Structure 1
Amino acid sequence: MKKLLLSAIVFTALTSCKDDDKINNQDINYSKLPQEFPFSKLVTVNGVDVINGGFGSGAAAHPTRKGEFYVITDRGPNTDYLNGKKFPAPNFTPTIMHFKINAEGNIEVIKYIKLKNPSGQPITGLPNPAGMGSTGETAYDSSGNVLGTDNYGLDSESIVAAPDGTFWVSDEYGPHIVHYNAEGVELERISPVGVNTGSRKLPAVLAKRRANRGMEGLCITPDGKTLVGTIQSTMYVPTKALATNTTLTRIVTFDIATGQTKQFLYRQNGGASDSVCDITAISNTEFLVIERDGNFGSQGGTKKVYRISIAGASDVNGTDLTAVDGMKINNKALEQSTWDEITNAGIQPVSKVLAVDLVAKLGYEHDKFEGIVYLGNNKLAVFNDDDFGILDDGNGNPKAKILPKTGKVDKGTMYIVDIQ
């Protein structure tokens, strides 16, 4: 039965890709973009409205229907506090929004899909407990009281819409790749070796991701066979103090049928504070990847997309996927090694070339440029994470997230841009 299902998925993906118009949306009216997503108020804390937004942490096109998309939230509104986060809406459920560009060129919501545990109960964005993907973060409510954990909690960051109607979602806790059915019920949770969530595993080294810097991007290859995920920033391998190569991060691939993985090195242009965010496929070996910093566009922010290829890159999985520090060269973890040492060891990172600079091209203002979907013909759909309209005031409390150029509250917005 599994073989038949996989064959159907691959056949659907391949036949969809034969007709570019089915996925490239060339006849869709994008003239009214950029356009904000609809939103409502989620909660008010100390006079600050937290909007029911957040859609844009990751994005995907509907695999067969033109002009339809999915965007996903992260774990929900939060602010930094002590050794963790305050959650002003602790019962918030990470959610997928299915929408379309209608005949008038406007964004029209089709459906909201809340993510659920295997029993069908809505999950939260609260951290996982020890042994199930914990990052060491403690969750607090708005008053500073300690909240619990959630075995199935997710800090969702990217989404894949599969041809069979299911979803694959990456997160920053475990990090996990989670398979959900069309109604958002968990089917499988794939995590690093040693994380007690299921039988199929990712390499153990991925558990050394930094808190809030886990698997930020995820896409599926056009043949429907392989998931490709990006780790947001340099991992703490073997430790935070020793991970000195702050421009090195990793791309991981997961064969859906066999569970086999590969890892590739990605060299960031920025430093430790920069992020490698969403990824979208051009071909089975070529992809577009976001690199950004945390500044607003008008305040010198970096918001770039690079065209990359894994075709000539070295697989750095190593022979022992249970090794907590992964492959080593000269008895040092890769994150301890300089790029010269890596090159001298015969390891080739993915190749990359700039595809578009959004600040230069669009005057892009948002800080968290986090979602992309390749539409074909060198057109790219672009999405941002609005952080539910809030920022941290420096004391663990929310303040309105104001775009400095416009003076307006940041909201999730869809853009279309031409790339090189």
Structure 2
Amino acid sequence: MKKFLLPVFACMALAACNNDDNAINQDIDYSKLPQEFPFSTLKTLNGVNIINGGFGSGATAHPTQKGEFYVITDRGPNVAYSNGIKILVPDFTPTIMHFKINASGNIEVIKYIKLKNPSGQPITGLPNPVGMGSTGEIAYAADGSVLGTDNYGLDSESIVAAKDGTFWVSDEYGPHIVHYSADGVELERISPIGVNTGTRKLPAVFAKRRPNRGMEGMCMTPDGKTLVGTMQSTMYVPTKALATNTTLTRIVTFDLATGQTKQYLYRQDGGASDSVCDITPISNTEFLVIERDGNFGSVGGLKKVYRINLANASDVSGTDLTAVDGMKINGKTLEQSTWDEINAAGLKPATKTLAVDLVAKIGYEHDKFEGIVYLGNNKLAVFNDDDFGVADDGNGNPKTKTLPKTGKQDKGEMYIVDIQ
């Protein structure tokens, strides 16, 4: 078995959590951290090295093996272009990386798991066709030619490892919640009502997610019964122009046994350009949630984690889950309503308190942090998304993504931090 090293900044020696009790594993040796992962080059394009990174869009602890983690990529390296994006490696397959802290205290990759369609063929990160989760995304090749679509394509953003060895993955297309086997083969795809996949469904309103701002975060409650997903930003309900409450986003829960869903409101501190990213459980009702902007931490970026509670939050599902605009207040959608109007209707969002400001706490330098795992005892593992080491040059072409403080190419790291 080959051993690889992942770049890690560790504030102290800690251990991974057990999903039953989030207990710290005191016998794991973290003394050799930080360590650097030797990323290979996936492709070189116009002199830019696209690294085989991207791990950190989502993260989860192994449900039974202490000191082991899973991290996942998104759809692959891409940059903004015209009315869509350039997919720089069109045949890239979204991939799960399983790694552990071994007996020597080193981070060791156990295996890579590529995601596959129900027939066992590797999927791509290409957008879905109309009717299967598309909101009009257009994918281009590096030369500007139009690429096709993929019925099973995924812009994977979050991952849950279940005790039966399978995985649940959420994404920014559909939005979909997809169940994969231990080998990465699709078992079930759960999408909004009206999206032509699967029989179990999310409420129809979720199909109005903002393009490239789908179900950015997802976790499983410690009792193993419920998936909890966070939408990245305000959805376009009823339309982009009319969705004026840009600090409102939604949390959806999915009962794995019954398929029943519930919806809750979450109030962002930022606005339309900021993101609600990963979520990790503390208990069956209490969670930690990422809020961030797109700036690098070393130049004043917003990088915070909030402790939230759904225990007293209102279920805003309404009576008709097939309604494409969801619940309304005085004829207005929730996204059209002010927080004063929402409060006057007796609807309560999730409560929240600041758990940690990563910039203030540790001088966090990256622009993104998209994976978190609660380790128990107010300790948190944080993973950044390095975007495969590439950024947009402003003209629809890739450039090397560098950290402004050090000038080094951005690469994935894992941090361990104390939270309040």
Provide the TM-score with structure 2 as the length reference.
Answer: 0.94
Q: 1:342 to 1:239 in 2, by over 3 A?
A: same
- Aligned AA for 1:194? G
Q: 1:19 to 1:252 in 2, by over 3 A?
A: closer
Correspondence for 1:387: 387
Structure-1 separation of matches of 2:180 and 2:65: 20
**CA shift at 1:18, angstroms?**
5.8
> For the Cα contact (< 8 Å) 2:21–2:222, is it kept in 1?
no
Correspondence for 2:177: 177
Structure with greater proportional helix content:
1
Structure-1 separation of matches of 2:337 and 2:206: 17
> For the Cα contact (< 8 Å) 2:20–2:223, is it kept in 1?
no
Correspondence for 1:85: 85
Correspondence for 2:267: 267
**CA shift at 1:180, angstroms?**
0.1
Correspondence for 2:141: 141
Tell me the matched-pair count.
Answer: 403
> For the Cα contact (< 8 Å) 1:36–1:412, is it kept in 2?
no
**CA shift at 1:103, angstroms?**
2.5
Matches within 5 A, 1:27-42: 27-42=27-42
Q: Which runs of 5+ in 2 are unaligned?
A: 1-17
Residues 21-43 of structure 1: CA deviation (Å, up to 9, x unaligned): 4xx33322233444443421011
Q: 1:18 to 1:413 in 2, by over 3 A?
A: closer
Matches within 5 A, 1:190-269: 190-269=190-269
Q: Provide the secondary structure at the position in 1 that maps to 2:361.
A: helix
Q: 1:123 to 1:20 in 2, by over 3 A?
A: closer
Residues 270-294 of structure 1: CA deviation (Å, up to 9, x unaligned): 1110000000000000000000000
Residues 297-317 of structure 1: CA deviation (Å, up to 9, x unaligned): 011101000000000000001
**CA shift at 1:102, angstroms?**
1.7
Structure-1 separation of matches of 2:178 and 2:20: 29
Correspondence for 2:352: 352
Q: 1:189 to 1:341 in 2, by over 3 A?
A: same
Correspondence for 2:13: none
Q: Report whether the alignment pairs 1:338 with 2:319.
A: no
Structure-1 separation of matches of 2:180 and 2:232: 22
Q: Provide the secondary structure at the position in 1 that maps to 2:370.
A: strand
Q: Provide the secondary structure at the position in 2 that maps to 1:369.
A: coil
Structure-2 separation of matches of 1:407 and 1:101: 29
> For the Cα contact (< 8 Å) 1:33–1:416, is it kept in 2?
no
**CA shift at 1:17, angstroms?**
5.5
Correspondence for 1:48: 48
Residues 301-339 of structure 1: CA deviation (Å, up to 9, x unaligned): 010000000000000011100100100001000000000
Structure-2 separation of matches of 1:225 and 1:29: 32
Structure-2 separation of matches of 1:349 and 1:302: 22
Q: Which runs of 5+ in 1 are unaligned?
A: 1-15
Q: Report whether the alignment pairs 1:326 with 2:326.
A: yes
Matches within 5 A, 1:104-183: 104-183=104-183
- Aligned AA for 2:295? N
Structure-1 separation of matches of 2:30 and 2:235: 38
Correspondence for 2:189: 189
Structure-1 separation of matches of 2:39 and 2:101: 17
Q: Provide the secondary structure at the position in 2 that maps to 1:224.
A: coil
> For the Cα contact (< 8 Å) 2:380–2:417, is it kept in 1?
yes
Matches within 5 A, 1:360-379: 360-379=360-379
Q: Provide the secondary structure at the position in 2 that maps to 1:145.
A: coil
Equivalent pairs: percent with the same residue? 84
User: Structure 1 residues 371-380 or 38-47, which shifts more?
Assistant: 38-47
Runs of 4+ residues over 6 Å off in structure 1: none
> For the Cα contact (< 8 Å) 2:204–2:324, is it kept in 1?
yes
Structure-2 separation of matches of 1:217 and 1:18: 20
Q: Provide the secondary structure at the position in 2 that maps to 1:206.
A: helix
**CA shift at 1:107, angstroms?**
1.5
Structure-1 separation of matches of 2:146 and 2:305: 39
Q: 1:339 to 1:62 in 2, by over 3 A?
A: same
Provide the TM-score with structure 1 as the length reference.
Answer: 0.94
- Aligned AA for 1:72? I
Correspondence for 1:7: none
**CA shift at 1:137, angstroms?**
1.1
- Aligned AA for 2:87? F
Residues 353-396 of structure 1: CA deviation (Å, up to 9, x unaligned): 00001001110001111000001111100000000000000111
> For the Cα contact (< 8 Å) 2:180–2:186, is it kept in 1?
yes
- Aligned AA for 1:370? E
**CA shift at 1:411, angstroms?**
0.4
Q: Provide the secondary structure at the position in 2 that maps to 1:74.
A: coil
> For the Cα contact (< 8 Å) 1:231–1:250, is it kept in 2?
yes
